[in-house]
Amino acid sequence: MSEIRCENFQENVDKYLVRHRSILDVITKLQDSVAHTNRSIIKAVTSCGCLEIKALKQPIPKDVSLEKLSDYVRTHLEGELCPDCLDKVEAELGKTLFYLTALCSLLKLDLGSIIDNENDRISTLGIYSLT
């Protein structure tokens, strides 16, 4: 996400966040939107069937290095989101992003800086950043 686009999005969220402006509302709406995102993905599996979850024990050799670990770890997903499910998941992710950005605004945090800092941390630490 470019810095200008991120800044513009945060300005718009701050501008249009009226009804749920309380930090308490934003925190609970963020949690609710994450739950709705999860539910839309589960519905793609259980109602539509465009996705399947085939979860088994990860086949990780005992002597594999951290650098090679991603070669063995699987997503457990099969299939792809159909256009209808894709629209629903994207809409729910958009709401989640809205409330995450609202939380940043209320706390006077810059979303673009947070993204940049996290990107720098990941780039610097690589696979060791995710522990």
Q: How many CA atoms lie within 13 A of 49 on its CB side?
A: 0
102: which strand partners?
Answer: none
CATH number for the domain spanning 11: value is 1.10.287.1080
Q: What number of other Cβ atoms are within 10 A of residue 51's Cβ?
A: 19
State how far the Cα of 70 lies from the Cα of 64, in Å rounded to an integer: 10
Position 22 pLDDT exceeds 90: yes
Domain count across the chain: 1
Nearest Cα residue to 69 out of 3, 126, 115, 2: 126
Residue 125: pLDDT band with limits 50, 70, 90: confident
Place of tokens 């992003």: 97
Give the domain extent around 108: 3-130
pLDDT at 76: 93
* pTM for this model (two decimals): 0.84
Amino acid at 44: A
